[in-house]
Amino acid sequence: MITRDITQFLTFARACAADFGPATARGAFLVAPDGFRLAEQSAADNRYMAQADGFDAARASTQHRELHRAFARALPTVCFAGDPATPDAVFPNNVFATAPGRAIVGRMRHPVRQREARREDIRAFFTTVLGYEPRDLSQQPHACELTGALVIDRARGLGFAGLSERCDEEGARLMHGAFGLRATLMFDLAPGEYHTNVVLAVLAGRAALICPAGFADAGAVDAIEALYAPHGIRLGPDEHAAFAGNAIALTPDRVWMSAGAAAALTPVTRAALEAAGFAVESVELDAIEAAGGSLRCCVGEIY
């Protein structure tokens, strides 16, 4: 099922058992911020990006190495070299993603990011080294920026596709099929939002962080909160602005976010995460956040 009908989706989703697959990844991959700088094409529809003079390549590289070290203590994590010709490649989850036995390549909106999809080393890592079946969406015309645009509940096989210039309805359908999901809810993001994973995080299939202001339809917010009740956690404007919605559970008991996001969490949000069984782990990423994304955007998951 893939639908815009919130009631239909919620009824179906509530009946889905958490038996679709592992709730969290078995590994992760990163791409180093080599050539880190303002990508003017991406800045056209990403209001979170800093101006050119707000980019500090050396600090971004240092922070990214610490991110790699931190993740490696939690699960196997590989890091591919960056490329100065692809300054946004530090956010690989938009371009490359996996499902069990499948490697998926997305179709990026901007040409500067479409170059990333041609990385033969990353493709070969999944197909030749891991033996995954390729699903290449990069050559069709519909934007579908993978787990930036599509937030996935891996335990129940549910997708949440926020539509924007980075993902249209056909792109959402292509991703729904490529990931083999049971059901996907499509909804419009609020004006000025570019990716769903900035305003929504599903954590190990049992909780959700939701930034209501990032959704054009309050009904979608209500439905997601209800689906993950009592662990549907609404974030306030300051938490939203600090990228607290751009979080990920890489293990069943830890939620990862940037240090800035963690500092913005209210006591109520922290208590709600604790009640859902999550401790908060954080890494300083302010230099990388200048590029308009945060911790979750940096993480490609290996299922």
pLDDT tens profile 142-156? 999 999 999 999 999
User: What residue type is assigned to position 246 of the chain?
Assistant: N
Q: Is a pLDDT exceeding 80 seen at residue 45?
A: no
* Structural domain count of the chain: 1
pLDDT score of 41:
64
pLDDT score of 54:
73
Q: Is a pLDDT exceeding 70 seen at residue 43?
A: no
CATH code, domain carrying 239: 3.75.10.10
The model's pTM is 0.95
Instruction: Look over the chain and give the mean of its residue pLDDT values, rounded to a whole number.
Output: 94
Percentage with pLDDT > 90 across the chain: 87
Q: Is a pLDDT exceeding 70 seen at residue 40?
A: no
44: containing domain:
2-302
